[in-house]
Structure 1
Amino acid sequence: MQQARSDFGFAKPLRLLTAAQYRAVFNAKRQIRAAHPNLLILASHNDLDHPRLGLVIAKKHVRNASDRNRIKRIARETFRLNQHNLPAVDAIVLARPGVAELDKAALAKLLNKLWRKLANRAQQPQQVSRK
């Protein structure tokens, strides 16, 4: 049985919209990370009942505008399909060098893997960091 299409939307409440919302994730005391050499997802728990997504696809790492748009489109789509498996977190997808060389299928597979990793790490109890 399929869920209603509206259950898998990507409306404004599911997005990080302001600089303050991005800053809250970057400055969070307890960040949750899911990393790969080509992508990084940073997240922190929010006080809402749903996850939110922000994107930072820098021109420095992805020169071509069509590649940046493709990466953002695929990141939004994978988030949209995985949002029901994610806890209430604010997540930011950051591009790293080399991400533009991935094709659509490889990028979607990588992002799905990172969303699963993020969900697992967000469910774990807080661990003491060793510095």
Structure 2
Amino acid sequence: MFFGLAREAKILKSSEYTHVFKGGTLARGKHWQVIAKPLKASKPRLGLAISKKVHRLAVDRNRFKRVARETFRLQQQHLDNWDFVVMARKSKPVKNPVLSAELLDLFKKVTKK
């Protein structure tokens, strides 16, 4: 049994990231920033852009990536056909459930616009 995020559910190419960045809808929270664009395919996709400028330590960047992937994986059946690019913002450390809840709210907020 495979519990990871499938390859089809990821944004992998730089041209796909550029497509979302150019015409996407932005939503900002305290810890996250999400850009989303409607997609014609059948499943939502996730892209991660966690910068060294925002979180210098790899441990912190990896934690944000882990939380984002897991939140997306658990909720992707409830999300419509959108491309999401998730970015971390500078913030004080908080627990993972707080990060996950805020990211889920941003997913819902950006898809309603």
- Scaled by the length of structure 1, what TM-score is found? 0.78
Q: Which amino acid aligns with 1:80?
A: R
Aligned mate of 2:20, from 13, 25, 45: 25
Aligned mate of 2:102, from 102, 110, 127: 110
Deviation (angstroms), 1:91: 0.4
- Scaled by the length of structure 2, what TM-score is found? 0.89
Q: Match for residue 15 of structure 1? A: 10
Paired residues of 2:50 and 2:61 also in contact (CA < 8 A): yes
Higher CA-based Rg:
1
Aligned length: 113
The separation in 1 between residues aligned to 2:4 and 2:38, in whole angstroms, is: 21
Aligned mate of 1:94, from 87, 90, 96: 87
Paired residues of 2:38 and 2:82 also in contact (CA < 8 A): yes
Paired residues of 1:51 and 1:88 also in contact (CA < 8 A): yes
Gapped regions of structure 1 (runs ≥ 5)? 123-131
Q: Match for residue 74 of structure 2? A: 81
Paired residues of 2:50 and 2:65 also in contact (CA < 8 A): yes
Gapped regions of structure 2 (runs ≥ 5)? none
The separation in 2 between residues aligned to 1:95 and 1:49, in whole angstroms, is: 27
1:6-64 deviations in Å (ceiling 9; x for gaps): 6x751110000000000000111xx2232213211101011201100000110101111
Q: Which amino acid aligns with 2:100?
A: A
Q: Which amino acid aligns with 1:24?
A: H
The separation in 2 between residues aligned to 1:21 and 1:86, in whole angstroms, is: 19
Percent identity for Structure 1 against Structure 2? 37
1:69-102 deviations in Å (ceiling 9; x for gaps): 111001000001111111111100011111x612
Higher mean C-alpha deviation, range 110-119 or range 88-97: 110-119
